[in-house]
Amino acid sequence: MPAFSSQPSAPIAVFDSGLGGLTVVRALMRRLPREKLIYFGDTARVPYGSKSPRTVLQFARQCLHFLTQFNPKLIVVACNTVSATALESLHHDFAIPVIGVLEPGAAAAVAAAARTPAGQPRRIGLIATEATIASQAYNQAVTRLDATIQVIGRACPLLVPMIEEGRLPDSPIVRSVLQEYLQPFKSLQIPVLILGCTHYPIFSQAIEETLGLPTALIDSADQTALVVAEKLATMHIANDAGTPLADGLTCYVTDQGQRFESLAGRFLGRLITQPVWVEPERLENPTVEK
Ligand code: DGL
């Protein structure tokens, strides 16, 4: 079992199947501006959301193993699909503290449901990948917090490819796909909707407009950053000395090409240039040298 660094100066590693996890990086940078961050996006093998739990776990193990070479003090699994299907196994495999986005997202949704006016339905909507919906992991996490709330989930497999393709929220095709996916939530007048996929916050405004109702949209990024901050404080490994870092982020990706650079800005809110390319073969067989 790989060991981990307990030094405050060690980096936090963030893993996602692709680009979407940069929304979590953005929240971490805001809350923890002195922490060094290593981002790893498995852009050659995205999407994970349409793959089987077995494949997702295998890929996630390889990616986390890759990240251990940086001796991180903590790993954030920014991918909902991995958090929903593989987190428990990853906790067993790695001694490093691993935090997923699902529990923080569920907690934020239950808190938002508690703020809705009395008389509103005790229901939370969930949109996510096929694998996340099939896992029922959000339903279980919400039930653990409040057994009176029902989670109604809908897989939205077309959203990730549209976002990865750079489609803008105003595009007619995006609007028409959202109309179809969100119709059941409109009819049920769901007061809270979990955006259970790293990519969906990019379409937040379009989702709000399509619903046309006062619905609280839950994006787990901020809540996850809060959980990370609390964990670092509890373990006494927060890097809270010195001035905030101007650029403490290094990105690694498995697909070569311009897509990461051209799309990353939409997720992170600023440009990223020159991510480091990691050959996928190195992940599958760690003994292969670059
Ligand atoms: N990162 C994935 C998630 O949050 C979305 C992309 C994928 O399907 O791999 O579920």
Active site residue 63: no
Asked if 121 and 215 sit in the same domain, the reply is: yes
129 lines ligand 1 (CB under 6 A): yes
Atom of ligand 1 nearest to the CA of 198: 4
Q: Give the per-residue pLDDT at 278.
A: 93
- Residue 1's pLDDT band, with cuts at 50, 70 and 90, is low
Average pLDDT, the chain: 92
4 lines ligand 1 (CB under 6 A): no
Instruction: Find the CATH number of the domain harbouring 203.
Output: 3.40.50.1860
Q: Give the per-residue pLDDT at 65.
A: 96
Q: Say if residues 90 and 61 touch (Cβ distance below 8 Å).
A: yes
Query: Nearest-CA neighbor of 77 among 30, 132, 31?
Result: 132
Let me know if residue 289 belongs to a domain.
no
Best residue among 59, 126, 197, 219 to mutate for probing ligand 1's pocket (most ligand atoms within 8 Å of CB) is: 197
Task: Give the strand pairing for 192-196 and 123-128.
Answer: parallel
Kindly report, residue by residue over 209-223, the tens digit of the pLDDT: 999 988 999 999 999
49 lines ligand 1 (CB under 6 A): yes
Asked if 159 and 203 sit in the same domain, the reply is: yes
Domain count, the chain: 2
d(CA 257, CA 239): 34
Asked if 88 and 227 sit in the same domain, the reply is: yes
Only one residue has tokens 């999407």, namely: 47
Q: Give the per-residue pLDDT at 54.
A: 97
pLDDT at 288 over 90: no
Asked if 28 and 125 sit in the same domain, the reply is: no
Active site residue 156: no
Let me know if residue 1 belongs to a domain.
no
Let me know if residue 3 belongs to a domain.
no
pLDDT at 289 over 70: no
pLDDT at 290 over 60: no
pTM: 0.94
Select from 169, 197, 220 the last residue of a domain: 220
- Report the separation in Å between the CA atom of 17 and the middle of ligand 1, taken as the mean of its atom positions: 6
The whole domain housing 126 covers 103-220
